[in-house]
Structures are given as structure tokens and as C-alpha cells.
Amino acid sequence: MTEWTNVVAVAAGNVHAARNTGRSHSLGLCADGTVLAAGWNAHGQCEVAEWDEMVGVAAGWRRTLGVRADGSVMAIGRRDDGACDVEGWSEIVAVAAGDWHSVGLRSDGTVVAKGLNTRGQGTVGGWTHVVGIAAGYLHTLGLMKDGSVLACGDAAAGLDETRRWRGITAVSAGSHHVLGLTEDGRVLAGGNDSLGQCRTQAWRDVVAIAAGSTHSLGLRSDGLILTTGLKGDGQGQWMQADDAQSGYA
């Protein structure tokens, strides 16, 4: 990835933490609409060299999704679970990839999903007025125009809390937890907090968020990155003077 240039967006193939996982891939969306990929390629998820006219990408456990400028969606990787069966989607403006399901946001604010639905994570058929989406291990989030949040799937990921959130401008889904960025720069979190991944209560002036498998990141307006949760593999190496703010130094 040291040779990647003109990249305008990136995506990481996040996976839930288990003994049969841990391998993933990374994507880069270039300014000219092409896509770069590196990492685990056992299911062909990195074979995107022919893709063009892309405006968005998402990386799942064993697949890659791409939104084209015409609103259609391309998918490559493992097809066994149905999460790559997105060829019929149209008018898509954004995609999200969970472990075994794919989610698409349409230009009219409705949402579509493909793949496994074991915990109801694909039950998005009635969603409307959605402006943002996120997909976790077995759950899906939809950010509504009014700042509230829709959620479906595994309730243990904090979905009941999420449905009570208001004034949200962005959402992110980890393996078993969820994050919400508020209008005033705070970060709300719900779900599994066994490794401190939800300890964001002290964070302020945050402008962007990301939820990993068992950690959380927040980008502050001054450029500092806040992190909390599992740091055993270096996930927290950006944290410097503000370790105490994370609540899980």
C-alpha cells in the first residue's frame, strides 16, 4: 500500500473476533474511480483491477462491494452466503458490509440488504428517510434524516440503546457494539463493553468515528485521534496525551 496514490477513500475488511477469523483486506478508492486492494484474497475479494467509475467501496470479511456512478453495485468474493448477490440493486448511493450480509442505501432513502439474516440483520425493507448506513457482525444501523437511528439484528450489540439516540450525525458498527456521533461532537456507544470499546463518554469535539471489531476510534477537530478498547495489536498506538480521556488507557 506504500505505492497507493490519488486515494480519496479507504475501507477495511473488519471481522468479528473468533478463532477462525483475523484475516482481512484493505481497499482504496482512487480519484479516477478505480479501486486498489491488498491483503487476504482467498475468495478473490481483492480482484478489483477491472473496476472503474466507482464512487464508493465497502469491505466485508470475504468480499468487496463497490458503488458505481450510475447507482449500480458490483461485488466480488465469497458468494455462498448470498451477500454478493447485489447485481440487481439500482439507485444506490452507499453500501456497507457486515460479516455475512451487505446493505445498500438508495437515493430515495430506502435500504436494501442481501446475505444471511440469522438475527434479522437484513430486515430493512420498511426503512425510509435514511441518510447513512452501517453494518456490523450480526446487526445493521440506519441513520435517519431527523438524527434518530434505526437498528435491526442482534440486540446484544446495543440496538435498544441505539433506537433511543437523538441528534446523531454519523453511525458506525463494530462486531458487537455501536457508535453514534452527536451534533455537538460527543460520541455515544452501546453494546458489548468487555474490552472498554464503549468507553467514549469523555470524548469531545469529535468530527468522525469508526468502530472496529473490539475497539473504537474518534477523530477530533484538532486532528488528534482518540481510541478505546482492545490495544493488544497496536490499535491504540495513535493515542498520546489524551489516553485518560478514553476511559480505557
Question: Residue 1: pLDDT band by 50, 70, 90 thresholds?
Answer: low
pLDDT above 90 as % of the chain: 84
pLDDT digits (tens, 9 = 90+) for 117-171: 999 999 999 999 999 999 999 999 999 999 999 999 999 999 999 999 999 999 9
| pLDDT > 90? residue 242 | no
Q: How far apart are CA 183 and CA 119, in angstroms?
A: 30
Whole-number pLDDT of residue 106: 98
Question: Residue 245: pLDDT band by 50, 70, 90 thresholds?
Answer: very low
Cell of 103: 446493505
Residue 95 makes CB contacts below 8 A (sequence gap 6+) with 56, 57, 58, 65, 66, 67, 73, 86, 102, 103, 104, 105, 133
pLDDT digits (tens, 9 = 90+) for 171-193: 999 999 999 999 999 999 999 99
pLDDT digits (tens, 9 = 90+) for 180-235: 999 999 999 999 999 999 999 999 999 999 999 899 999 999 999 999 998 755 44
- In eight-state DSSP terms, residue 114 is E
What is 119-146 written as a DSSP string?
Answer: TSTT--TT--SEEEEEE-SSEEEEEETT
Alpha carbons within 13 A on the beta-carbon side of 163: 11
Whole-number pLDDT of residue 16: 59
Residue 86 makes CB contacts below 8 A (sequence gap 6+) with 65, 73, 74, 75, 95, 102, 104, 114
Whole-number pLDDT of residue 191: 97
